[in-house]
């Protein structure tokens, strides 16, 4: 009952420039009240989008050139701030299938893994190069090979990095912790039966 295998991600890109883009910018706190994640994707970067619109500028997430983007390319310390899982959920439900950035918040990274959304890293120049490619040819298709940790942009293949543990989880489907628990439900019940605060709660 493992999750789906994530071996390749194909689609156009979204360039999101800037360091320290935190989870409150990805999904504002007022949307944390939702009891399900349904529809949360439409609120991704809502405040940033409004702020730029007031200045006559367009955020990449509402820029028609990147409307169907699946591969987000960001910069340093992406997903920092609070640990809200709503942030990766909003990106996933908006349509993001993979992220390339210089670095991530550790908790954000882990939350992305649990959604089968691979997070790759690359140095500043590589991320800037990918952002330039996307901006100059927004409709062009990008292809990420998870096993090779590489992204193909046109005739160019660019090497990326990914944590070995996460890479293995995507390739064997073990990223889905819930599926793993259900697959080993008998063992879970056996362990629970030995815990006094579960089996002998007074």
User: How does pLDDT run across 86-103, given as a tens digit for each residue?
Assistant: 999 999 999 999 999 999
Q: Residue 201 above 80 pLDDT?
A: no
pTM above 0.85, yes or no: yes
Whether residue 181 has pLDDT greater than 90: no
Smallest CA-to-CA distance from 2 within 198, 190, 125, 179 is with 179
Would 181 be classed as within a structural domain?
Answer: no
Q: What is the mean pLDDT of the chain?
A: 92
Q: Is residue 194 part of a domain?
A: no
Q: How confident is the model at residue 195 (pLDDT cuts 50, 70, 90)?
A: confident
Pairing verdict, β 71-73 and 13-15: parallel
Report, as an integer, the average pLDDT of 126-151: 97
Q: Compute CA distances 46 → 41, 64, 67, 145, 162, whole Å.
A: 10, 16, 15, 31, 29
Residue 110 pLDDT more than 70?
A: yes
At residue 56, the pLDDT reads 98
**Residue 184 resides in a domain:** no
pLDDT of residue 83: 85
The band of 183, judged by pLDDT with boundaries at 50, 70 and 90, is low
According to the model, what pLDDT value does residue 179 have?
Answer: 66
Nearest CA among 96, 79, 98, 69 for reference residue 7? 98
Tokens representing 157 are 């293949």
The answer to whether the CB of 149 falls within 8 A of the CB of 159 is: yes
Residues 156-179: tens digit of each pLDDT: 999 999 999 999 999 999 998 776
CATH number, domain containing residue 100: 3.20.19.10
Q: Is residue 2 one of the residues assigned to a domain?
A: no
Q: State pLDDT tens for residues 16-60.
A: 999 999 999 999 998 888 778 889 999 999 999 999 999 999 999
Measured CA distances, 14 to 41, 107, 125 (Å): 15, 22, 17
pLDDT of residue 200: 61
- Positive or negative, the CA dihedral 36, 84, 6, 177 is negative
* Residue 89 maps to a domain: yes
**pLDDT at res. 193:** 74
Phi, psi of 136 (to 5 degrees): -80, -30
Is residue 40 domain-resident?
yes
Say how many domains are in the chain: 1
Cα–Cα distance, 140 to 184 (Å, whole number): 43
In a domain, 127, yes or no: yes
Structural domain including 165 reads 8-174
Contact between residue 71 and residue 98 where contact means Cβ atoms under 8 Å apart: yes
């Amino acid at each position: 009952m493992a999750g789906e295998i994530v071996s390749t991600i194909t689609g156009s890109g979204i360039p999101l420039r800037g360091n320290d883009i935190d989870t409150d910018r990805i999904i504002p706190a007022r949307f944390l009240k939702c009891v399900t994640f349904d529809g949360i994707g439409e609120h991704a970067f809502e405040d940033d989008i409004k702020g730029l619109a007031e200045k006559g500028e367009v955020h990449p997430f509402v820029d028609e050139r990147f409307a169907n983007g699946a591969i987000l390319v960001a910069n340093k310390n992406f997903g920092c701030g609070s640990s809200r899982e709503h942030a990766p959920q909003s990106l996933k439900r908006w349509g993001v299938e993979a992220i390339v950035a210089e670095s991530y918040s550790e908790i954000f990274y882990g939350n992305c893994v649990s959604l089968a959304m691979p997070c790759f890293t690359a140095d500043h120049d590589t991320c800037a190069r990918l952002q330039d490619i996307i901006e100059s040819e927004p409709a062009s298709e990008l292809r990420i090979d998870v096993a090779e940790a590489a992204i193909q942009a046109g005739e160019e293949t660019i090497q990326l990095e990914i944590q070995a543990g996460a890479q293995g989880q995507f390739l064997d489907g073990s990223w889905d912790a819930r599926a793993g628990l259900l697959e080993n439900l008998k063992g879970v019940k056996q362990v629970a039966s030995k815990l006094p605060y579960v089996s002998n709660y007074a």
